[in-house]
């Protein structure tokens, strides 16, 4: 009997056919939830006044706080603006300038009329519907195109796809009107185009025109968020590597064609930031001075050791939101337990720490569903650490093996062989590693808000989750590990459904 049990544990619990059917079903459920949320969400989105102002101008109005390029907001211009709806930035963040189309500060302080309220509501709703498209491309791009090419075998693909579908943050992101929807989507497109170019090169069918398409895809990422500088840099380096592979070291052709590709990427990705700088004089400054003054005083003597080494699980389970440990909804709240990076990050990945998606604004409408999910997901951090360690061990092993097998070759040939074998790992590691480093730099510097830390939001790291999962599941798993993780992730998917669905008030 023990022998039969051991034999059973060596077999995967799911066949590839049943696993694909299950992932397809779960994918349809999450896309249906995204559409439901877009239709039924009746709360206030994150920084609603700011996004209404940006939508009113289609994102084309530059200013100090117009740090996001206009690509995401452009569809809002499809909503017809009645003649009595003024072009006024009522959020009072960008008001000013000499443009005659911009009303004065006094006009901005006047109450909006009913037509203006209706017009802005229609624009926000339209942008929320575009989020469904962005979610569709993100899910389908990774699950149906990228993961099958990045991961070896069915087991890694199934677990990465299932865990990606477990995370409820994508439905929360889709209900918000925010450019990170477009950013996450276009990073997905950039990765998929890279993999398509890689396949064309392996088949000997790569052309320069296809590299131009790759450059357009990379440059378009820069039209979404300032954080896009990292994926643009990593994918641009990958683009140039493929240009060298296509052309060889023919320097005249490399300089001309490389310059053309770089021009496409640079012009597309930097155009808005240059325009904003010329119009407003700001490059990196994106905060109101009065708002940041409150937090600058708290930065003196701030303990980064405590910030990155604490995790208040019990307090979070008791109050799974921003009111944890006596916190408030004040813009300048000073909650000591908020000075815990991983507590808030965990609460945002698996819950709704800032209460934008839990029902009525700033109120907890999903107490027990969130408590259950946050408790059930407590195993995910150690699982991620173990799988991450396994990835680096496997990458080191394969690198040493490649260098050992090519010992007789010249150094250039050895490095070329190694690059070809670990290309997938290096590009993904570049996307994830550079993105994490930039976020942590921002988080410990310009975005540090002691006592509050509302800059820790899932939306800011949503683009990093899918490539991180690709790294975690690149190593082949044994059937027992696959079976245990599959059961756990299936449980997480079910428990996370209430958190992924908006409950109308």
**Orientation of helix 458-472 relative to helix 411-444, angle to 10°:** 150
Q: What is the mean pLDDT of residues 60-64?
A: 84
Is 428 domain-assigned? no
Residue 194, classed as helix, strand or coil, is: helix
Measured distance CA(281)–CA(158) in Å, rounded: 49
Q: What is the pTM of this model?
A: 0.93
pLDDT digits (tens, 9 = 90+) for 345-390: 999 999 999 999 998 878 899 999 999 999 999 999 999 999 999 9
Is 236 domain-assigned? yes
Of 366, 315, 302, give the one whose Cα is nearest residue 342: 315
Quote the pLDDT of residue 251.
84
Quote the pLDDT of residue 97.
43
Is 242 domain-assigned? yes
Measured distance CA(187)–CA(164) in Å, rounded: 15
Is 199 domain-assigned? yes
Length of the chain: 505
Is 247 domain-assigned? yes
**What are the residues whose beta carbons fall under 8 Å from the beta carbon of 420, sequence distance 6 or more?**
none
pLDDT band at 238 (very low <50, low <70, confident <90, very high): very high
User: Is pLDDT of 103 > 50?
Assistant: no
Contact call for residues 214 and 193 (beta carbons, < 8 A):
yes
Measured distance CA(327)–CA(321) in Å, rounded: 9
Containing H/E element for 204?
Answer: none
* DSSP 8-state secondary structure symbol assigned to residue 25: H
**Least confident residue range of 37-51, 117-131, 141-155, 410-424:** 410-424
pLDDT digits (tens, 9 = 90+) for 273-300: 999 888 877 776 666 666 677 788 888 8
For 326, half-sphere exposure in the C-beta direction (CA atoms, 13 angstrom radius) is 5
Measured distance CA(431)–CA(259) in Å, rounded: 23
Is 28 domain-assigned? no
Contact call for residues 398 and 387 (beta carbons, < 8 A):
no
Residue in this structure with the two tokens 């211009």, named with its chain if needed: 77
pLDDT digits (tens, 9 = 90+) for 261-273: 999 999 999 999 9
User: Is pLDDT of 438 > 90?
Assistant: yes
Pick 83 or 184 by higher pLDDT: 184
Measured distance CA(142)–CA(147) in Å, rounded: 6
Of 36, 2, 122, 120, give the one whose Cα is nearest residue 503: 36
Of 443, 438, 445, give the one whose Cα is nearest residue 183: 438
pLDDT digits (tens, 9 = 90+) for 455-492: 999 999 999 999 999 999 998 889 999 999 999 999 99
Q: Long-range contacts of range 252-261, CB-CB < 8 Å, 24 or more positions apart?
A: 257/208, 257/211, 260/212, 261/211, 261/212, 261/215
Is 254 domain-assigned? yes
Measured distance CA(49)–CA(52) in Å, rounded: 5
Of 34, 56, 177, 9, give the one whose Cα is nearest residue 502: 34
Cβ-based burial of 83 (10 A; exposed 0-12, middle 13-18, buried ≥19): exposed
The residue range of the domain holding 237 is 180-286
Measured distance CA(333)–CA(128) in Å, rounded: 29
Measured distance CA(179)–CA(321) in Å, rounded: 24
Counts for the chain of helices (H) and strands (E), in that order: 21, 0
* DSSP 8-state secondary structure symbol assigned to residue 80: P
Is 96 domain-assigned? no
Radius of gyration in angstroms for the set of CA atoms belonging to the chain, rounded to a whole number: 24
Q: Which two tokens stand for residue 188?
A: 């997905």
User: Is pLDDT of 100 > 50?
Assistant: no
User: Would the CA dihedral through 81, 83, 84, 90 be positive or negative?
Assistant: positive
Q: What's the structural domain count of the chain?
A: 1
Alpha-carbon distances of 348 from 351, 355, 458, rounded to whole Å? 5, 10, 5
Residue in this structure with the two tokens 């999962």, named with its chain if needed: 469
């Amino acid at each position: 009997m023990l022998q039969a049990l051991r034999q059973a544990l060596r077999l995967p619990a799911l066949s590839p056919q049943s696993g694909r059917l299950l992932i397809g079903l779960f994918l349809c459920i999450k896309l249906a939830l995204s559409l439901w949320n877009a239709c039924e969400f009746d709360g206030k989105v994150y920084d609603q006044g700011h996004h209404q102002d940006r939508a009113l101008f289609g994102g084309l109005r530059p200013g100090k706080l117009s740090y996001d390029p206009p690509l995401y907001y452009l569809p809002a211009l499809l909503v017809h603006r009645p003649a009595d709806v003024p072009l006024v930035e009522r959020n009072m963040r960008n008001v000013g300038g000499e443009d005659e189309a911009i009303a004065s500060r006094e006009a901005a302080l006047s109450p909006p009329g009913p037509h203006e309220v209706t017009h802005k509501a229609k624009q926000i709703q339209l942008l929320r519907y575009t989020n469904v498209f962005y979610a569709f491309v993100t899910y389908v791009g990774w699950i149906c195109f990228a993961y099958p090419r990045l991961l070896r075998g069915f087991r890694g693909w199934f677990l990465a796809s299932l865990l990606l579908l477990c995370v409820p943050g994508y439905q929360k992101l889709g209900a918000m009107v925010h450019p990170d929807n477009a950013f996450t989507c276009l990073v997905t497109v950039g990765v998929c185009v890279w993999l398509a170019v890689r396949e064309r090169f392996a088949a000997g069918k790569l052309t320069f025109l296809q590299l131009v398409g790759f450059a357009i895809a990379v440059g378009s990422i820069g039209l979404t968020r300032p954080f896009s500088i990292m994926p643009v840099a990593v994918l641009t380096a990958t683009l140039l590597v493929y240009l060298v592979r296509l052309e060889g070291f023919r320097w005249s052709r490399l300089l001309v064609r490389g310059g053309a590709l770089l021009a496409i990427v640079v012009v597309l990705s930097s155009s808005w930031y240059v325009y904003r700088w010329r119009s407003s004089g700001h490059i990196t400054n994106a905060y109101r001075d009065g708002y940041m003054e409150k937090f600058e005083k708290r930065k003196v003597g701030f303990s980064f050791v405590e910030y990155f080494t604490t995790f208040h699980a019990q307090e979070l389970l008791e109050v799974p939101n921003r009111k944890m440990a006596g916190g408030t909804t004040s813009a300048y709240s000073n909650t000591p337990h908020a000075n815990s990076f991983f507590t808030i990050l965990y609460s945002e990945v698996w819950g709704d720490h800032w209460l934008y998606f839990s029902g009525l604004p700033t109120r907890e409408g999903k107490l027990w569903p969130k408590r259950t999910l946050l408790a059930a997901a407590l195993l995910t951090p150690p699982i991620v650490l173990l799988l991450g360690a396994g990835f680096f061990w496997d990458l080191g092993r394969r690198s040493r093996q490649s260098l050992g097998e090519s010992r007789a070759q010249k150094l250039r040939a050895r490095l070329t062989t190694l690059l070809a074998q670990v290309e997938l790992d290096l590009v993904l590691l570049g996307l994830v590693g550079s993105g994490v480093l930039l976020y942590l730099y921002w988080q410990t510097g310009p975005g540090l808000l002691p006592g509050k830390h509302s800059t820790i939001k899932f939306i800011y790291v949503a683009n990093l989750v899918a490539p991180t999962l690709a790294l975690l599941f690149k190593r082949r798993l044994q059937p027992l590990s696959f079976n245990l993780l599959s059961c756990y992730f299936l449980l997480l998917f079910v428990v996370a459904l209430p958190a992924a669905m908006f409950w109308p008030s």
